Amino acid sequence: MIAGYAVPDFVSDFWHFYIAGITIVSVLGIMWFLRAQSTQKKLAPGEKAEIIDHAWDGDLQEFNNPLPRWWLYGFWFLIVFSVVYLVLFPGLGKFAGVLGWSSAGAYDQEKASVDAEFNKVMEPFLAQDVMTVAADPTAKEMGQRLYLTYCMQCHGSNAQGDGKNFPNLADGQWLFGGDATAIQASIAQGRLGEMPANLVGDEQSAKEVANYVLSLGGKPHDAAMAAAGQGKYAACAGCHGEDGKGMAAAGFPDLTDDAWLYGSDEAGITESIVKGRKGGMPAFQDLLGDAKIHLLTAYIWGLGGGK
């Protein structure tokens, strides 16, 4: 658990008392030990301090003298400081501290302040349509920086997809639509694409359907297997259509184009049919807000793949 951050829900109250108990017992134990080590025995005239029963280098011995006062006072100060801290701030299980401070709240406050300043700069662009913003050099530069911060990890610095499973944003093939409205909705609301596993039977049937799918797009395929898979493709037509063109409005992929996230050869298509697929893009509305999403939409639309 990160002290000061939003406290997660524990499985039971046991863990709250467990963490708080260990913390309190540890502080009390340190206080007891420090007290025990700081008690100074009064020596009679001429009496020497007790010698601890070990030696180094033959005759180097250690006296059992009390700790220096400055060190003790410093230690006690730190203990008092820790107790005050635990009262004011989170640190004892679910106890939030009397000040009610949290790192999540501090982050939200700082983010709100930064966003307010950012939105002052964004207001002129927010009032313009996507095409106008995309043509503005300053807006394009700002959109690129936002893209490199929030989107590059998946889609790559050139927006052509960062390897397998991540869509190319610079081409004209868009699963959920490539117009400005669809792009903005994808960024703000996120997307979820899911294909159920093994709707056509065994792996051999999956290979036959895979070859039929390849034939729909005019790709190299086994004609005999494609013919055998044509009837079995009916299990797929409900989403992808009888012609394999899909339905962008619902996020059903076009099987006749070249935009395949998981591989467009027989092996890749067969694997998709047998195992199913599930992918998604997170929603950025709460994280970015309207102004940044508007700039990102314009930048991505301006890459040339948007419609």
Question: Pick the residue with more confidence: 298 or 170?
Answer: 298
pLDDT-based confidence at residue 215 (cuts at 50, 70, 90): very high
Residue 3 is predicted with a pLDDT of 43
What is the structure's pLDDT at 6? 47
**Burial class (CB within 10 angstroms; exposed 0-12, middle 13-18, buried 19+) of 215:** buried
- In this prediction, residues 172-189 reach a mean pLDDT of 90
Phi, psi of 193 (to 5 degrees): -120, 125
Q: Give the pLDDT band (50/70/90) at residue 185.
A: very high
In percent, the amount of the chain with pLDDT more than 90 equals: 45
State the pLDDT at residue 46.
65
Whether the pLDDT of residue 20 is over 70: the answer is yes
Listed in sequence order, the residues at least 6 apart from 185 whose beta carbon sits closer than 8 Å to its beta carbon are 176
CB atoms within 10 A of CB 95: 16
Flag whether pLDDT at 5 surpasses 50.
no
> Coil, strand or helix: which one is 257?
coil
> Worst-scoring range by mean pLDDT, 1-10, 146-155, 225-234?
1-10
Contacts 24+ apart (CB under 8 A), 172-177: 172/305, 172/307, 173/254, 173/257, 173/258, 173/259, 173/305, 174/248, 174/305, 174/306, 174/307, 175/248, 175/251, 175/253, 175/259, 176/248, 176/251, 177/248, 177/249, 177/307
Q: Does the pLDDT of residue 9 top 60, yes or no?
A: no
pLDDT in tens, 87-138: 999 988 888 899 989 888 899 899 889 888 888 888 889 889 999 999 999 9
Percentage, residues of the chain above pLDDT 70 = 86
* pLDDT at position 189: 95
35-39, 132-136, 166-170: segment of lowest average pLDDT: 35-39
DSSP letter (8 states) at residue 78 = H
What's the pLDDT band for 43 if we cut at 50, 70, 90?
Answer: low
Q: Is the pLDDT of residue 236 over 50?
A: yes
Q: Who wins on pLDDT, 209 or 94? A: 209
CATH 1.10.760.10 residue window(s) in the chain: 110-190+282-301, 194-281
pLDDT per residue as tens digits for the range 247-280:
887 888 899 988 888 888 999 999 999 999 888 8
Report whether pLDDT(8) > 70.
Answer: no
Closest C-alpha among 71, 97, 95, 72 to residue 84 = 97
* Confidence band of 41 (pLDDT split at 50, 70, 90): low
Supply the pLDDT for residue 49: 59
pLDDT level of residue 66 (50, 70, 90 thresholds): low
The confidence score (pLDDT) of residue 52 equals 61
The superfamily CATH assigns to domain 110-190+282-301 is: Cytochrome c-like domain (1.10.760.10)
Q: Does the predicted model carry a pTM greater than 0.75? A: no
CATH topology of domain 194-281: Cytochrome Bc1 Complex; Chain D, domain 2 (1.10.760)
